[in-house]
Structure formats: structure tokens, C-alpha cells
Amino acid sequence: MATLGTMIDRIEAEIGRSDLTAAVKEAIQTAIRFYERRRFYFNELRSSFSTSSSKEYYGSADAAFIARLVDIDSITINVNTSTYPVVPRDFSYIDQVQTNAGYTGDPTDYVYYNSQLRFYPIPQTARAVNVSGVQKFVTLTATASTNAWFTDAEALIRARAKYELYHHRIQKPEKAVQMRGAELDALAALEGETFSKIAGRLRPTAF
């Protein structure tokens, strides 16, 4: 299985340098940060957490993925045997309607702010909240660790990391240009695979 360590070893072999391990690791992490806000089939998320009575804000302590959300497609709440959508709002709207902290109920609105979810009304009891969207993965530092960036997107991240190295560290512009081309080829392939997997969820544009 591809890991952070195996990608470091491969990049060092491909650039012919064994004295840049720390720089290679940093370049890999920079490459991931560059792409982690884009939607690919492997960084889509569907997960759940539970509300608590009289608790308005929910963050990483309630569910680790909340603070790593990049984009939210939908939030629904389970009430008894039914599921209802929760409407996205901005923070000022919630401020305007949330005028009485003693008023609680099943949430109908939410805002994502400061890496937290805020609900209106303030939940009155424990309810399952279902979240769908795009997430960032935890930054890996251990060489034995892996995630989808090192498996599904291995070619993309490896090419981008080598571009970063040639452009910023080794300073070989012609090599950086080559790696930029390899990066764009890998991106096109990954975006094509993503499109083929999510195409059934796309809605046609009304004209």
C-alpha cells in the first residue's frame, strides 16, 4: 500500500536526490493542501453526529469531521421516523432570529462559521444530524500513514510535489514545467474519474 514514506522514497529516486527528505515531505504536504479544497470522488463525506439538549454550537469535539468540512452539500435531521432538511443561512440571519436562548426545538436552519455548526432553533434534545459534503483529511506526518491522497490521487500529488521541489527548492525551471504538465495530465484523469462516478447526481441546467 502506498504511504507517505513510499511516496517520499519514490520522489527521491525520481529526482535523484537523497538529501532532501524533509523538503520532499514538506512538498507532498504542500501539494495536498493545494488540492484538498477541490471535490474528488474520494474526499466526499457522508457522516452523522448527535445534537445535545440546549447546545447551539458543534465542532470537532462533537465530531472530528466538522472542523474539516470544505463544502457542505446538505444537512438533514432525523426526527422520530422522518428526516427533514436543515436550511443553510448566514451568521447574521441566525443572530437576528436567535433572540431567546431559552427557545429550543428541532433545528430548521444552520450556519457553518469558524469551523463550527450553529443551529436554529437551539436543539431541545438529542437528534441525529446527517452531513454530506467535501472534507479535508487529517494531515499525515508518520511515514507509515496513508489516505486517499497516497492511493487514489498518488500520481497527482507526486507530480505536484515534484513541481514544488523543482520550482522552489531545486530551482530547475525546465523540470518544473515538465512536472506541471504531468500534474495537469494526472488532474485531468482524476477529474474524469470523478465525473464518471458522480455524473448520476448532477442536475441538468434549466434553459
pLDDT in tens, 17-75: 999 999 999 999 999 999 999 999 999 999 999 999 999 999 999 999 999 999 999 99
Please, what is the average pLDDT of the chain?
Answer: 95
CA–CA distance, 118 with 55 (Å, rounded to integer): 9
Domain final position from 135, 163, 184: 135
Could you tell me which of 157, 113, 135, 158 has the C-alpha nearest to residue 39?
135
Cβ contact 123:52 at 8 Å: yes
pLDDT average, residue stretch 98-109: 92
Q: 131 and 48: one domain? A: yes
Decide if 125 is inside a domain: yes
User: Against a cut of 0.75, is the pTM above it?
Assistant: yes
Q: How far is CA 36 from the centre of its chain?
A: 6
130 and 85 in a common domain: yes
Lowest mean pLDDT among 26-35, 100-109, 149-158: 100-109
3-class DSSP state of 50 = strand
Q: Are 14 and 51 within one domain? A: no
Do 101 and 52 fall into the same domain?
yes
Last residue of a domain, one of 135, 158, 177: 135
Report how many domains make up the chain: 2
Q: Across residues 179-186, what is the average pLDDT? A: 98
What would the mean pLDDT of 131-139 be, rounded to a whole number? Answer: 97
Coil, strand or helix at 159: helix
Looking at the structure, tell me whether residues 55 and 115 fall in a common domain.
yes
Alpha carbons 45 and 69: distance in angstroms, whole number: 9
One domain for residues 82 and 108: yes
Question: What's the CA gap between 117 and 127, in Å, rounded?
Answer: 14
Considering the domain architecture, whether residues 162 and 94 belong to the same structural domain is answered as no
Pairing mode of beta strands 122-123, 104-105: parallel
Task: Provide the residue range defining the domain that includes 51.
Answer: 44-135
Give the integer Cα–Cα distance in Å for 83 and 11: 48
Give percent of the chain above pLDDT 90: 93
Share of the chain above pLDDT 70, in %: 96
Same domain, 153 and 124: no
